[in-house]
């Protein structure tokens, strides 16, 4: 078993630290955000990720997991240091590696020969090579640099880490690759060894490909609306083809979060910086933006003329089972609604404390029923399980209007229509289409009911 430091205790770092402790290693998490650190040192986990609190608590008590902000305490005793700090979008779309280089510099001040730096942050191709070169120039001997991109999904991060499809190890020296592979020996997963550059690029390619699948199906959903086909049926048929598979084929408001948007942008920026036009990546982002715009336009078309129009939003996080709001479609649409003078009431099972910080103008509610109260329209923006079995009869009595925009294609459209709702979704035959050319019905100021259905 090894001694490991993990730099940055965010979504990836915390999961990495806790799971490496679970694999038997002794792990120190190094975190510079004082609020995050003090929570962790008290034994509280400052982010929502199923199973993470329990795992962190367990290894706090086994003594295999601790947290500090002192590199000097963590690094000298470590055989491996994982870099898991954030790499946000820079102004040119490329990932900003400022936090990565700052972390690496701090590590190197305390590093001993034999240390292996494991780059888990998603970084532009060539970053690990450049860090290796900087280390060589600084005449430090015996420090290895390995790329080990992370493919976990927020919401199922622990399972993804402990049961990955593959562990990718990009290295220039077989000994360093073997040492890092040994860290993951407890996992029943194939290890893919490759160059550092291939490992870095594979991470971007995987995220961009997943985003492309969703955008592609959103494009097909728009075609479904035009030709009166049903996206669910189409997706099922397409996804049952073994060459394609069923994942990431659901039409709706599209992708968001901390990774897909910035990684698609960064890969496009990489291509452009080498004189390649990333035509597919540009379209992938464009279709995604269009989904949000169309949802907003439909709501505004239906409600914009109403005095004191109110939209109720169900779900704020970019996906279920996380409190992460980064680039969440809900936030984008809420900002557009507020800008158009439409009031917003909202609920999310876990993301409200984060949302209050960025959207103080929203009225936050205890549950979906409170959101429905007095709303002219409801937008389901995140498919939390709590929203899949709502009592729509009760909601009908609470709402002022009858419009329901199912941003995730998860509600029973025919049921809602039978109850008298105007049900909108993406490319489903049981609904009006969100991406269809906009009908601009005259909204009824008295009832708030949009009756555009032919
Ligand atoms: N979130 C995901 O689902 C996911 C999945 C795969 C890969 N990634 C990649 O992993 C990286 C981290 O993502 P995240 O979502 O965990 O980010 P995050 O913002 O949640 O966490 C980063 C943490 O690093 C800390 N930090 C920054 N600089 C530091 C330093 N010098 N020393 C110590 N701590 C420092 C920050 O305070 C923060 O707590 C990114 O490159 C991201 O693209 C993320």
Do 331 and 414 belong to one domain? yes
Do 317 and 421 belong to one domain? yes
Do 237 and 318 belong to one domain? yes
Token readout for 112 is 């001993």
Decide: 31 and 42 in contact? Cβ < 8 Å. Answer: no
Annotated catalytic residues are: 259
What pLDDT is recorded for position 441? 42
How confident is the model over 199-241, as pLDDT tens digits?
999 999 999 999 999 999 999 999 999 999 999 999 999 999 9
Token readout for 178 is 């073997």
The model's pTM:
0.93
What pLDDT is recorded for position 444? 37
Long-range Cβ contact pairs of 223-227 (< 8 A, separation 24 or more): 223/427, 224/427, 224/428, 224/429, 224/433, 225/426, 225/427, 225/433, 225/435, 225/436, 226/436
What percentage of the chain's residues is helix, strand, coil (to nearest 5)?
Answer: 45, 15, 45
Do 321 and 339 belong to one domain? yes
What pLDDT is recorded for position 437? 59
Do 272 and 326 belong to one domain? yes
Regarding the beta carbon of 85 and ligand 1, being less than 6 Å apart is answered: yes
Query: Count of alpha carbons within 13 Å of 141, Cβ hemisphere only?
Result: 0
Ligand 1 centre to CA of 92 (Å) is 20
> Nearest residue CA, atom 36 of ligand 1?
8
Q: What is the CATH number of the domain that holds 279?
A: 3.40.50.720
> Nearest residue CA, atom 13 of ligand 1?
86
Do 223 and 357 belong to one domain? yes
What pLDDT is recorded for position 448? 31
Helices (H) and strands (E) in the chain, counts: 17, 15
Do 100 and 85 belong to one domain? yes
Regarding the beta carbon of 86 and ligand 1, being less than 6 Å apart is answered: yes
> Could you say which of 169, 194, 219 is where a domain stops?
194
Residue 452 pLDDT > 60, yes or no?
no
Do 135 and 257 belong to one domain? no
> Could you say which of 194, 209, 224 is where a domain stops?
194
Regarding the beta carbon of 97 and ligand 1, being less than 6 Å apart is answered: no
Confidence of residue 442 (pLDDT cuts 50, 70, 90): very low
Regarding the beta carbon of 102 and ligand 1, being less than 6 Å apart is answered: yes
Structural domain count, the chain: 2
Do 424 and 347 belong to one domain? yes
Distances 240 to 88, 234, 324 between C-alpha atoms, Å:
36, 10, 31
Regarding the beta carbon of 168 and ligand 1, being less than 6 Å apart is answered: no
Using DSSP, state whether 248 is helix, strand or coil: coil
Ligand 1 centre to CA of 379 (Å) is 30
Ligand 1 centre to CA of 314 (Å) is 27
Residue 63 pLDDT > 60, yes or no?
yes
**What's the whole-number average pLDDT of the chain?**
93
Residue 260 pLDDT > 90, yes or no?
yes
Regarding the beta carbon of 291 and ligand 1, being less than 6 Å apart is answered: no
Residue 390 pLDDT > 60, yes or no?
yes
Do 357 and 419 belong to one domain? yes
> Could you say which of 194, 220, 250 is where a domain stops?
194
What pLDDT is recorded for position 105? 96
Token readout for 407 is 């941003």
> Nearest residue CA, atom 7 of ligand 1?
150
How confident is the model over 127-164, as pLDDT tens digits?
999 999 999 988 788 999 999 999 999 999 999 999 99
What pLDDT is recorded for position 436? 64
Read out DSSP for 311-374? EEEE--SSSTT----TT-HHHHHHHHHHHTT-EEEEE-SS-HHHHHHH-TTSEE-SSHHHHHTT
Do 128 and 271 belong to one domain? no
| Full domain range(s) for residue 60 | 3-194
Ligand 1 centre to CA of 262 (Å) is 13
How confident is the model over 302-333, as pLDDT tens digits?
887 788 899 999 999 999 999 999 999 999 99
Do 188 and 214 belong to one domain? no
Ligand 1 centre to CA of 123 (Å) is 11
How confident is the model over 83-100, as pLDDT tens digits?
999 999 999 999 999 999
Regarding the beta carbon of 297 and ligand 1, being less than 6 Å apart is answered: no
> Nearest residue CA, atom 39 of ligand 1?
10
């Amino acid at each position: 078993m090894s001694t490991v430091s993990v730099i940055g205790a965010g979504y990836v770092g915390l999961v990495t630290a806790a799971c490496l402790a679970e694999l038997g290693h002794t792990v120190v998490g190094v975190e510079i955000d004082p609020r995050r650190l003090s929570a962790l040192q008290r034994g509280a986990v400052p982010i929502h990720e199923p199973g993470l609190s329990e795992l962190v608590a367990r290894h706090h008590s086994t003594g295999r997991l601790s947290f500090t902000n002192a590199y000097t305490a963590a690094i000298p005793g470590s055989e491996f240091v994982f870099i898991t700090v954030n790499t946000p979008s820079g102004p040119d779309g490329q990932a900003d590696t400022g936090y990565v280089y700052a972390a690496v510099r701090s590590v190197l001040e305390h590093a001993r020969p034999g240390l292996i730096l494991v780059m888990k942050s998603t970084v532009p191709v060539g970053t690990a090579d450049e860090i290796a070169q900087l280390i060589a120039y600084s005449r430090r001997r015996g420090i290895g640099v390995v790329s080990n991109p992370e493919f976990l999904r927020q919401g199922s991060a622990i399972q993804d880490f402990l049961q990955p499809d593959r562990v990718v190890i990009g290295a220039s020296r077989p000994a360093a690759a073997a040492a890092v592979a040994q860290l993951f020996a407890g996992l029943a997963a194939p290890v893919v060894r490759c160059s550092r550059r291939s490992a870095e690029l594979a991470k971007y390619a995987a995220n961009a490909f997943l985003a492309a699948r969703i955008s592609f199906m959103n494009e097909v959903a728009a075609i479904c609306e035009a030709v009166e086909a049903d996206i669910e049926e189409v997706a099922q048929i397409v996804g049952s083809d073994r060459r394609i598979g069923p994942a990431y084929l659901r039409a709706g408001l599209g992708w968001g979060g901390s990774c897909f948007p910035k990684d698609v942008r960064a890969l496009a920026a990489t291509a452009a910086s080498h004189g390649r036009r990333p035509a597919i990546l540009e379209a992938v982002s464009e279709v995604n933006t269009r989904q949000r715009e169309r949802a907003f336009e439909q709501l505004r078309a239906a409600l914009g003329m109403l005095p004191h129009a109110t939209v109720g939003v169900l779900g704020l996080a970019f996906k279920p089972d996380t409190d992460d709001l980064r680039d969440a479609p809900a936030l984008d649409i809420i900002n557009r609604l507020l800008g158009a003078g439409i009031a917003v009431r909202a609920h999310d099972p876990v993301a409200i404390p984060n949302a209050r910080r960025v959207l103080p103008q929203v009225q936050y509610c205890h549950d979906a029923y409170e959101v429905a109260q007095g709303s002219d329209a409801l937008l389901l923006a995140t498919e939390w399980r709590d929203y899949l079995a709502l009592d729509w009869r009760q909601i009908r009595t609470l709402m002022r209007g009858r419009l329901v925009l199912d941003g995730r294609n998860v509600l029973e459209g025919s049921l809602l229509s039978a109850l008298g709702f105007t049900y909108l979704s993406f490319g489903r035959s049981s609904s009006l289409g969100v991406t269809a050319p906009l009908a601009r019905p005259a909204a009824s100021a008295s009832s708030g009911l949009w009756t555009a259905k032919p």
